[in-house]
Chains A and B, each alone.
Chain A
Amino acid sequence: MLGSVAIDRVRVFLDDPASTTPYAHKMGEYWSEAQILFALNQSQLAVVVWLARKRQTYLISGLLTSTTATTVPTNFLVATSGECRETSPAVLRPATLMVGWSALDFYLNQHRFITAIYGETIDYRINGSAAAAGKLWYIRKPTAITNASTNTEMDDRVYDKIIAHAVCALMCKDVLDKRFQDVFSECMRVLQSEVPHHYPQLDEGMKA
């Protein structure tokens, strides 16, 4: 999605052709480009975190990455899974992923393999002792949307959701009226629409 196209699509939603309100600009132009870009980038983070927590990683697969470091990377957003490596055999095993130091109280007596995140530390443990190595799979921060950038790391339909969400946020500075409610519910519909993990097959005999 080209950044400038995203801005235009937001403006289409925000624009009110019937408005006679004496704003300095036409309604869709009332929000500056910088404001729309900022809102789009914040919405991008919110939507990605939401999808990641829903475990819909197939929509944001371009953001899935891993690290073997013991410090949380700067582009870290949401952890998805962890792995620990035994000394012998030297293979990575799936580990229980936990956030917060209370993981310690668990891995001492509940789980064999643990990947725990607290503060800036990633801790790989086997039976309570430090593992030889480990790997954390996580969703990284998406690339920032700018006017000239073309972002392709996520499914196009995620960008639809991001635009709808940014419109919801930007409209909050406007007054609540019937038009607001209409646009808001339309944006909600886009945001809530479930996206299947592949395009459904056309029925036999139908042409695309």
Chain B
Amino acid sequence: MTKQEAIDFVRMFIDESGVEFVGTLVDAQSDVKRALQEASYDKVREWWARGDKEALRPFWKQETYTGASPYSFASYAVQPMFIETVQVRVGSDVRYPAKQTTLELWTQWQAANPLMGARVGSAEYAYKEGQIFFVGDGIVVSYYLKPDIDWTNLALELFNPPYVATSGAAWTHAQICERAAQILMSRQPLDEDRVPLGVIYDIERLMSQQAERGAA
């Protein structure tokens, strides 16, 4: 789904009686764009919580770093939204999957007995905004990028590079559009005629909701 298609799709959802109430603003698409951006973050967090890595696949990224701790991400744009795994390198070939520990524990542990050279175990790491602390000769960090939509070219796919563009999980785009429409609808005064928007394209969730309601 291209960005323009996504905008049109959202407008189709929120369109009642042919009147597009967000279309009357100065930049007709700005509200829809903001809602789509908000919805992307929302859905990515939801997929992460559900462990849906197939949906998250377009945002996957990996960095290999050789050097001393800490590793600093190159810029804010490539900082992780979620870290999947960190492997600590020892020497050139050996890698250990590392467990995350809290920053508090990390700093206290380091300072426990500096004279004895007390260190945190090698297969552990701590994350500070934009930095990864570890003990070893380097790391391989695999993580998921923040889903920031670049609106410069509306004819391109919703998420174009640095995200996986050619084979991105296109089936998730409708879910994002639907969530965006739900966000826009929720700004309107509360009334009774709200449709069950928000789970239509997420059929697994739709089915579990139907089952909870005891329907069919």
Contact = CB atoms under 8 A, between A and B. Distances in A.
Nearest to A53: B204
A188 B216 contact: yes
Contact of A192 (B57, B62, B200, B207): B207
Contact of B174 (A42, A120, A173): A42
Given A47-B203, A53-B204, A108-B97, A102 B84 contact: yes
Classify chain B: how many residues form its interface, as a range. Answer: 35 or more
A176 B194 contact: yes
A100 B53 contact: yes
19 contacts: A39-B12, A42-B9, A45-B171, A46-B201, A99-B57, A100-B53, A100-B142, A102-B142, A104-B97, A120-B164, A120-B167, A165-B200, A169-B178, A171-B195, A175-B16, A175-B193, A176-B195, A177-B193, A185-B216
- Chain B interface main SS type: mixed
Interface in A155-207: 165, 168-169, 171-177, 180, 184-185, 188-189, 191-192
Contacts, number: 120
B60 A101 contact: yes
B215 to A, nearest CB: 7
Given A35-B12, A38-B9, A99 B53 contact: yes
Interface of B: 1, 5, 8-9, 12-18, 53-54, 56-57, 60-62, 84-85, 87, 97, 142, 164, 166-167, 170-171, 173-174, 178, 181, 192-197, 200-204, 207, 210, 215-216
Contacts of A38: 5, 8-9
Interface string A134-171: 00000001000000000000000000000001001101
B57 A102 contact: no
